[in-house]
């Protein structure tokens, strides 16, 4: 069975005001001083108001869920020492002036990309699924392209930007899309062609290195995995587990199609960009672009089409019952964007939204 690992970026916020705080270095220092701090799990990100953790590879989704909750709780425990909290929010609901880290790489990004880097306080969720070779990995990338916007819609958790309603379910994806290497890609056809494209992108001088290849899904440059990077960090950890379950199902389904000689859909990048925009705008509240027809369809119907597409793989891994339950709950209660808007309507302040989201982050 393919192993799965998750990376989540969390927002560091003041326990009283809910405003983001530039404390990543202090939190990491607290982790390093703790005899059970697990330094290898946590790391800083571009902005000092965020903290990232990575789970170990797991084959059982229940075990992955335990890890996600554990590391969220550990991040919260260390943040509490600094009168702060962690929130699984893909953008800050409250206004913020982001603070870029002092490391050489972060300063290079600041110098070369200006406001794009300065404003890039966004928190995503990356799902890694093991593959047997780069050739299999690229075959997977070629075949999962139309389904990635559906994952974005399900995870959408960033309706607010600088204290205002953005009108989007995932405004994070719109901000992230400012990077020149971000977004959907064409069909590569082979691992050689994929690596040639990456080498050419780095050789252009625009990108510092392969780590800046920000495709919606890519071959990891560190692990033998396909890395799906399209999602917002999810407010509820159960949604993260559902996302990881579906991504593994997509990878396994695509690998089987490749082995069976089934070619990938030839949807162009232009249409895929429209599908991503639609997913970011609507989330699960309106229509999405159906991956098979590239025409609008109700969001719930498109999500269920994704589930049907990977059902055989989920059956074999034993994930159908848990995934069905989690999907039913997501469709009933809504994604993080819907929850945040409902909280604002009920509580009347974005500060209260952050306070409640801190609580929900821990499940």
Residue 323, CA distances (Å) to 54, 61, 153 in order: 22, 10, 17
pTM of the predicted protein model: 0.97
Q: Which residues contact 191 (CB under 8 A, 6 or more apart)?
A: 133, 134, 135, 137, 138
With CA atoms as reference, report the closest residue to 65 among 343, 325, 307: 325
User: To which residue do tokens 């719930």 refer?
Assistant: 300
What is the C-alpha separation between 121 and 225, in angstroms, rounded? 26
User: To which residue do tokens 């799990």 refer?
Assistant: 41
What is the reported pLDDT for 221?
87
User: For residue 347, what are its two tokens?
Assistant: 């509580």
User: For residue 303, what are its two tokens?
Assistant: 């999500």
In 219-349, alpha helices (H): 237-259, 269-282, 299-317, 320-333, 336-347
> Are 139 and 254 spatial neighbours (Cβ–Cβ below 8 Å)?
yes
What is the reported pLDDT for 363?
81
| 50-59 per-position pLDDT tens digit | 999 999 999 9
Q: Are strands 287-289 and 225-232 parallel, antiparallel or unpaired?
A: unpaired
Phi then psi for residue 85, to 5 deg, are -135, 170
The DSSP bridge partners found for residue 296 are 289
With CA atoms as reference, report the closest residue to 75 among 119, 113, 110, 43: 43
The number of distinct structural domains making up the chain is: 1
Residue 283, CA distances (Å) to 50, 57, 231, 270, 305 in order: 24, 29, 11, 20, 16
What is the reported pLDDT for 35?
77
Q: Which residues contact 308 (CB under 8 A, 6 or more apart)?
A: none
The DSSP bridge partners found for residue 117 are none
**Any idea what the CATH number is for the domain that residue 138 is in?**
3.30.590.20
**Per-residue pLDDT in tens (0 to 9) along the chain, 363 residues:** 999 999 999 999 999 999 999 999 999 999 998 877 677 899 999 999 999 999 999 999 999 999 999 999 999 999 999 999 999 999 999 999 999 998 999 999 999 999 999 999 999 999 999 999 999 999 999 999 999 999 999 999 999 999 999 999 999 999 999 999 999 999 999 999 999 999 999 999 999 999 999 999 999 988 999 999 999 999 999 999 999 999 999 999 999 999 999 999 999 999 999 999 999 999 999 999 999 999 999 999 999 999 999 999 999 999 999 999 999 999 999 999 999 999 999 999 999 999 999 999 998
Helix (H, G, I), strand (E, B) or coil at 43: strand
**Residue 199 CB burial class (10 angstroms; 0-12, 13-18, ≥19):** exposed
């Amino acid at each position: 069975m393919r192993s799965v690992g998750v990376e989540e970026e969390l927002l560091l916020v003041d326990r009283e005001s809910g405003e983001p705080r530039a404390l990543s270095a202090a939190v990491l220092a607290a982790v390093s001083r703790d005899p059970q701090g697990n330094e290898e799990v946590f790391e800083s990100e571009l902005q000092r108001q965020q903290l990232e953790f990575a789970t170990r590879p797991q084959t059982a989704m229940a075990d992955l869920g335990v890890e996600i909750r554990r590391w969220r709780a550990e991040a919260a425990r260390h943040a509490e020492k600094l009168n702060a909290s962690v929130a699984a929010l893909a953008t800050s609901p409250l206004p913020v002036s982001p603070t870029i880290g002092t490391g050489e790489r972060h300063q290079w990004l600041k110098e070369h990309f200006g406001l794009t880097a300065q404003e890039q306080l966004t928190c995503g969720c990356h799902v890694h699924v093991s593959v047997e070779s780069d050739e299999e990995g690229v075959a997977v990338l070629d075949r999962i392209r139309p389904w990635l916007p559906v994952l974005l819609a399900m995870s959408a958790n960033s309706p607010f930007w600088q204290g205002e309603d953005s009108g989007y379910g995932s405004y994070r994806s719109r901000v992230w899309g400012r990077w020149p290497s971000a977004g959907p890609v064409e069909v590569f056809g082979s691992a050689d062609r994929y690596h040639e494209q990456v080498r050419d992108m780095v050789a252009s001088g625009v990108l510092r290195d392969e780590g800046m290849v920000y495709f919606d899904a890519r071959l990891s440059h560190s692990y033998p995995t396909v890395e799906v990077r399209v999602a917002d960090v999810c407010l509820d950890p159960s949604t993260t587990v559902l996302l990881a379950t579906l991504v593994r199902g997509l990878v396994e389904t695509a690998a089987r199609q490749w082995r069976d000689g089934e070619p990938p859909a030839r949807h162009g990048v232009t249409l895929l960009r429209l599908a991503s925009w639609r997913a970011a705008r609507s989330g699960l509240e309106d229509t999405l672009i159906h991956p098979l027809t590239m025409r609008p369809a109700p969001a719930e119907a498109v999500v269920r089409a994704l589930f049907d597409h990977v059902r055989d793989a989920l059956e074999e891994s034993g994930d159908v019952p848990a995934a069905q339950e989690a999907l039913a709950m997501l469709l009933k209660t809504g994604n993080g964007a819907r929850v945040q808007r409902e909280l604002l309507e009920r509580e009347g302040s974005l500060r209260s939204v952050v306070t409640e989201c801190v609580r929900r982050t821990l499940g």
